[in-house]
Structure 1
Amino acid sequence: MDFFTAQDNARRKTGQLVVLLVAAVIALIAVTTVVVAIVVRFMGDDRGSVTANNLLAALSPELVAVVALGVVALVGLGGLFKRSQLRRGGGKVVAEALGGREISPSTENANERRILNVVEEMAIASGTPVPPVYLLQEAGINAFAAGYDTSDAVIGITQGAIDHLNREELQGVVAHEFSHILHGDMRLNMRLISVLHGVLLIGLLGYILLRSTATRGRAVRRNNSNGKGAVVVLALGVALAVIGYAGTFFGNWIKAAVSRQREYLADASAVQYTRNPNGIGQALIKIGSLTQGARIEASQASEYSHLFFGQGMKLGFTRLLATHPPIRQRIKRVMPSWNGEFNAPLSAPFDGDMEKAGGGSVVGFADTPSAHAYSSAATMNGTSARMAIASMGQPGPRHLAQARTMLNALPTRLVDAAHDPYAVRALMYALLLSQNIEVRKQQLASLQQTALPDVYREVMNHAGDVLMLRDQLRLPLMELALPALKNLSVGQATHFRHCMVELINADSQVNLFEWTLYHWLVHHLGLGKKDSGPAVRKLSDLQQECQLLLNVLARAGQSDPDKVNAALDAAEKELPFALNVKREAPDIKALGPAVSRLGRLRPQQKPAVLQAMARCIEHSGQIKPAEAELFRVIADMLECPMPPLLIESD
């Protein structure tokens, strides 16, 4: 399934979710109305009896209207409140609600470093920003991905998983979670949390009131000689419990209806990404072998049960409400030769992969460039960009291997600095330093006045290494730095942005890489205004924006007017309108708002833009690092995660 089809399917699932919610609300209104009628009739009947006739008499249109209004208001307001809460914090809210703590990017714990390495490799291989990783102190083997988009996504992993799974198995689990990110499942899951919060809120309210009415009932029995008051209180408590159970039942029913099939698809994607069915298969076998299984004990685990890698909650009397398929079926699908026995060894001895960024081996693919390939000019042929588009949402072992190669090619000092909260800012400043000595002197003088003293010292420590860095390694370094940058406070982030602006304006002009770095960081750190709204724009409505984007991209690899025109002619063949070729250089400062508006294109309109961009940079038969860099960053800003353009070995 290609990326855009998967995104479209996820949107259709959202429509299905609305239908299921409406059905659940109607059922809840019916249950609540009957329960309220019974309680009201019981309290108004001196004999304390309820018959079919007097119950029907109590079911007045007025009662139905009042109950319906109350249920709809509670479900609606509860859902809006939860949506607002999740929108503010993204996946971080979910991770912290489950008791998770963020694993520091600079951790020295070997097992924690291993899971960070695996996540970094998978993120770079898939073209998504490296997400923060949260550790849950849970004995079960489980994981989850949460967030509305790639900018606020997080990966959660349990202590049981990093204790019991080896690197290969962790890679399979992480690949499964990245499938949910890439195919739109993660966003759907977050919407599901918001939608169901109101439904589950009824259940929560019922249980709270039941506990309070139980206490009140004991007081009534002590102080009221007439036992009817105690019976009424007890009846009210039971009624609330019934309503609460109904809310929980319908919530779990919706989760099960939306979730289960997507787990099979994510398992299959994990095998495709790694070309190693044993990784995810053995992880599932270890879940079956472990006494704790995949269970999550956190108090809010039930609310987020559909996010987990494995069935995190105990099943009740039926599997119909299970959010995940049976584990035996999942294993058989990825490992048909499995003997059916849960006898995997649960020890995961550390396998020597305390790499500087992500060593180890990629199972199933060896034909990838070695680290020394990055010591000379990279070679990306004329089809690399279109191959990357075809691989969106479905990176393969070759992308994973190239991600690891790029990370291993980075100097160790820079990798360590990318994980440090002070040094990481210095790295981004150093990337903006000009190769021109006079301009660089002006930049450093300005930075000394505006940056924090500790950060400025780090700039001076790392500037030499950064200035020597190959162009094709700049984007991997930026991606590696993102989790540490996301830990900046609002004040620190604002100051960070101010310092970047000062560095860029030092020579009174903005070059292509300065634009790329600045806007990529602003986009992912939430430092700028986005053209908010639903993705409903048509490409024909954004011809000027598309024209500007392609004009900038055509000039990224060459300055000769004839070659620029040839690049635009190639791009024009992918568009439903003609491009107006201008002789003068485009205003690069206008590119940011243009890309923001293009981000609101309908998903099925975006492939034409991406294909036009690919044609634009491929026309010469060779893609330069600056072209590839801009191509991937703009695709990322359009919410189209692009795997690395594959480099050919010499």
Structure 2
Amino acid sequence: MNFFERQRQVRRISVRLVVLFALAVAGTVAVVDLAVWFVIGVGSPAETVVTALVVASVLTVALIGLSSLFKSISLRRGGGARVAESLGGTAVPPDTRDPDLRRLRNVVEEIAIASGTPVPALYVLEKERGINAFAAGWSPADAAVAVTRGSLDRLNRDELQGVIAHEFSHVVNGDMRLNIKLMGLLFGLLVLFVVGRVLTLVRGGNRNPTPLIGLALIIAGAIGMGVGRIIQAAVSRQREYLADATAVQYTRQTAGLVGALKKIAGLKESSAVRNPRADEVGHMLFGSAKGLKGQMLATHPPLIDRIRVLEPNTRPEELEQLRRQWATRPPSGAAEDRAMGLADGSTRVSGQSGSGTPGRGHVPGGAQAPGSRAPGEPRTPAGAGLGAAADPAAVVAAIGGVEPDALDRAGRLLDRIPEHLRVSAHETEGSVSLVLALVLSAHPDVRAAQLAAVGRHFGEAAADEVRRAGQALTGLPPELRLPLAELAFPALQRRTPEQQDAIMATLHDMIAADGRLDVVEYCLSRLLHEQLHEARHHRPSWAGQRYSVAAARTATATLLAVLADAGHDDSGHDDARPAARAFAAGLGRLPGDWRGVAYAPPAAGVVALEHTWGALDGMPAHAKQQLIEAVVTVIGHDGRMTVSELELLRTICAMLHCPLPPVAQAPGRVA
């Protein structure tokens, strides 16, 4: 099942949830109506009975609906951070020197880069000694990943990687949004129960019907909540199996995830979460919030079943043996890391690995790679740089997943970014200077105008910081620009909305200083703008409407024309010129009749894409899959994809909410 099929599955589940919830509400209303009818009495006039039943039904539906809507909106507005903080989560400091927290951040960043998703906010539930974790948020842009202190203490790096990969599956597959919908729906039924309890306390004489109506609401709410919990548990168990499978796909080994599950089964603390609000988010957790205690409405499959899916020969006796072994000497993740040859628990020693995970070597970050352009050097032509294989099917297969060596490749990529740049990317102030420095021009006059723009928005001291950041970026290979910017995005999201607006305005002025917009600048500014917008508003910067394939026809043609124009030499003068051939090849990947559509590069160049995102993102999943195949066909029509084309491809996929990992690159000629 690829990413697009998983998206269709989530949409089907969402529709099914609405139907089941509507049935639960109907049953709840029926119970309330029955109580109202009983209170009014059989002898009342028919008009009175009908009016009372209609009023009771409307009030019940309104109470449930408005409560659910309120809860859903409040969860959306707070993003994943609000959920994490409500359970006592503490944000991981950007400049932390704690080895456990550094290891956590390192693992999260590796998986984020490898899976093509934004780096989420990180939280630790310091008071929780059980092994557990969760991902929360309305979209990947506002996601937060939280782990318990027990996870940091007891899990080695491979096991922690397996747990984090499991949570990233929920991010990529759309489970977070599904979980928030579930929380909102159940809250509406809970409010009905609470209102019923309040009404039972009302006193006003023997003939006062209020307590009886309150009792009816309690019964109705309890029935509705019971049905809701059953629905929630069934959906959650199904998604947990999928998340386990996706985690194995990410890490390419089962030992880490299996090891984490076995430690949950073998340790006294298990996966228990003691926070009083744990039940509210129980379906979002890696393991059951109640640990190994039995539950009639379990939100997670039995541990032995999850383990056996990954390791079929596991027997219950083995888990019992682990319980006895760890009763007096619980495992230490840090000690296991050292035994596996990890330097400090956060990075691997070159050539060594544990649990079947390949080790990583170190490549000096300051080395100049073929075709690279340091900030301050002239821009290279579109055809220059590193090449990559152009296989549409392979790119589509990689979306929402991780290729066999993608996680290791992401680790090596992060290793190539100098430590001081990674530190700056995590800092609230340093991240701003770093991102702005990525667009500094080589031309002295243009650079001076860009720094003056920084000074106007943030002051001369900030302009000096950007100048120094530009010097620190000298020699950074071009394929590391977007990954470095992606590391900085979470720090930028911590700024106030006014500061974020000022950052975007400054970036816009800097890009406009030379009177033109190249592909690299567009990708950086577009990704930054969209991630900041979605993190603040929890929706795309466009309307977010649904579009049919036919309605998105013009936007599709514009996108392919921009790509053909940006990536191919248009020096020919006949209809068979390279850009036109690439455009035609892309259209050939799409269904329907495109014979009347001729290649016409937009005069606005890459800026023309600004008018296409709403329609393209609004298309159904299968249409997005076909569109990305067409995009790769156009970009790779000359047999390779340059670094700037790869950045544009990743930007397009991000705008379509189809996370694309870094594509494997191979050396290519420099134009």
TM range (shorter): 0.7 to 0.9
1:458 Cα deviation after fit = 2.5
With 578-587 and 250-259 compared, the bigger mean Cα shift is at 578-587
> How far apart in 2 are the matches of 1:382 and 1:144?
36
1:483 Cα deviation after fit = 1.0
1:207 Cα deviation after fit = 4.6
Q: What per-residue deviation string (whole Å, max 9, x for no partner) do you get for residues 462-519 of structure 1?
A: 2113242111001110111111111010111111111111111111221221111111
1:553 is the counterpart of 2:529: no
**Match for 1:614 among 632, 638, 644?**
632
Given that 2:278 and 2:289 are in contact with CA atoms closer than 8 Å, whether structure 1 keeps it comes out as yes
1:111 is the counterpart of 2:100: yes
> How far apart in 1 are the matches of 2:357 and 2:582?
34
One-letter code of the match for 1:130? V
Q: Corresponding residue for 1:570?
A: 585
Q: What per-residue deviation string (whole Å, max 9, x for no partner) do you get for residues 514-572 of structure 1?
A: 111111101000089722133x3123322332222222222333433433223223212
1:533 is the counterpart of 2:510: no
1:233 Cα deviation after fit = 9.1
Given that 1:31 and 1:246 are in contact with CA atoms closer than 8 Å, whether structure 2 keeps it comes out as no
Given that 1:3 and 1:394 are in contact with CA atoms closer than 8 Å, whether structure 2 keeps it comes out as yes
Q: Corresponding residue for 1:463?
A: 470
What SS class does the counterpart of residue 552 from structure 2 fall into?
helix
What SS class does the counterpart of residue 269 from structure 1 fall into?
helix
Given that 1:274 and 1:362 are in contact with CA atoms closer than 8 Å, whether structure 2 keeps it comes out as no
> How far apart in 2 are the matches of 1:301 and 1:583?
55
Q: Corresponding residue for 1:83?
A: 72
**Superposed CA RMSD:** 3.2
Residues 150-229 of structure 1: matches in 2 within 5 Å?
150-207=140-197, 213=201
> How far apart in 1 are the matches of 2:5 and 2:110?
25
> How far apart in 1 are the matches of 2:155 and 2:409?
24
1:69 Cα deviation after fit = 1.8
Q: 1:140 to 1:369 in 2, by over 3 A?
A: closer
> How far apart in 2 are the matches of 1:369 and 1:560?
41
Q: 1:168 to 1:317 in 2, by over 3 A?
A: closer
TM-score under structure 1 length normalisation:
0.88
Q: Corresponding residue for 1:22?
A: 22
With 146-155 and 348-357 compared, the bigger mean Cα shift is at 348-357
**Match for 1:442 among 435, 444, 449?**
449
1:393 Cα deviation after fit = 1.9
> How far apart in 2 are the matches of 1:502 and 1:586?
18
1:139 is the counterpart of 2:139: no
With 298-307 and 607-616 compared, the bigger mean Cα shift is at 298-307
Residues 289-300 of structure 1: matches in 2 within 5 Å?
289-300=266-277
Q: 1:285 to 1:365 in 2, by over 3 A?
A: closer
> How far apart in 2 are the matches of 1:186 and 1:276?
25
Aligned residue pair count: 623
Structure 1 residue ranges without an equivalent (≥5): 45-52, 221-225
Q: What per-residue deviation string (whole Å, max 9, x for no partner) do you get for residues 105-139 of structure 1?
A: 32222111111111111111111111111222322
1:376 is the counterpart of 2:353: no
> How far apart in 1 are the matches of 2:386 and 2:260?
37
Q: Corresponding residue for 1:409?
A: 416
1:325 is the counterpart of 2:336: no
1:312 is the counterpart of 2:323: no
With 26-35 and 96-105 compared, the bigger mean Cα shift is at 26-35
Given that 2:141 and 2:532 are in contact with CA atoms closer than 8 Å, whether structure 1 keeps it comes out as yes
One-letter code of the match for 1:401? D
Q: What per-residue deviation string (whole Å, max 9, x for no partner) do you get for residues 425-463 of structure 1?
A: 001110010122332122123323332455333213221
Q: 1:387 to 1:454 in 2, by over 3 A?
A: farther
What SS class does the counterpart of residue 333 from structure 2 fall into?
coil
What SS class does the counterpart of residue 582 from structure 1 fall into?
coil
1:382 Cα deviation after fit = 2.9
1:129 is the counterpart of 2:118: yes
1:520 is the counterpart of 2:520: no
One-letter code of the match for 2:507? M
Q: Corresponding residue for 2:5?
A: 5
Structure 2 residue ranges without an equivalent (≥5): 371-384, 572-576
Moved over 4 A (4+): 34-38, 59-63, 207-210, 231-241, 314-318, 352-370, 372-375, 583-586
Q: What per-residue deviation string (whole Å, max 9, x for no partner) do you get for residues 314-373 of structure 1?
A: 799853x21111112111111222232331643222536577985465854649996369
One-letter code of the match for 1:538? S
> How far apart in 1 are the matches of 2:94 and 2:395?
28
Q: What per-residue deviation string (whole Å, max 9, x for no partner) do you get for residues 359-398 of structure 1?
A: 4658546499963698423754333564232111221341
Q: What per-residue deviation string (whole Å, max 9, x for no partner) do you get for residues 547-598 of structure 1?
A: 2222222233343343322322321211232442236754332222322332
Q: 1:520 to 1:318 in 2, by over 3 A?
A: closer
With 290-299 and 605-614 compared, the bigger mean Cα shift is at 290-299
Q: What per-residue deviation string (whole Å, max 9, x for no partner) do you get for residues 91-110 of structure 1?
A: 22322222223212322221
**Match for 1:626 among 633, 636, 644?**
644
TM-score under structure 2 length normalisation:
0.85
Q: What per-residue deviation string (whole Å, max 9, x for no partner) do you get for residues 132-183 of structure 1?
A: 1122232221111122221122212112211211111111111111112222
One-letter code of the match for 1:425? V
One-letter code of the match for 2:156? N
**Match for 1:69 among 44, 58, 69?**
58
> How far apart in 2 are the matches of 1:385 and 1:492?
40
Q: Corresponding residue for 2:332?
A: 347
Q: What per-residue deviation string (whole Å, max 9, x for no partner) do you get for residues 172-231 of structure 1?
A: 111111112222222211222222221222223345556xx3xx78xx9xxxxx9x79x9
> How far apart in 1 are the matches of 2:395 and 2:523?
19
Given that 1:79 and 1:194 are in contact with CA atoms closer than 8 Å, whether structure 2 keeps it comes out as yes
Q: 1:175 to 1:508 in 2, by over 3 A?
A: same
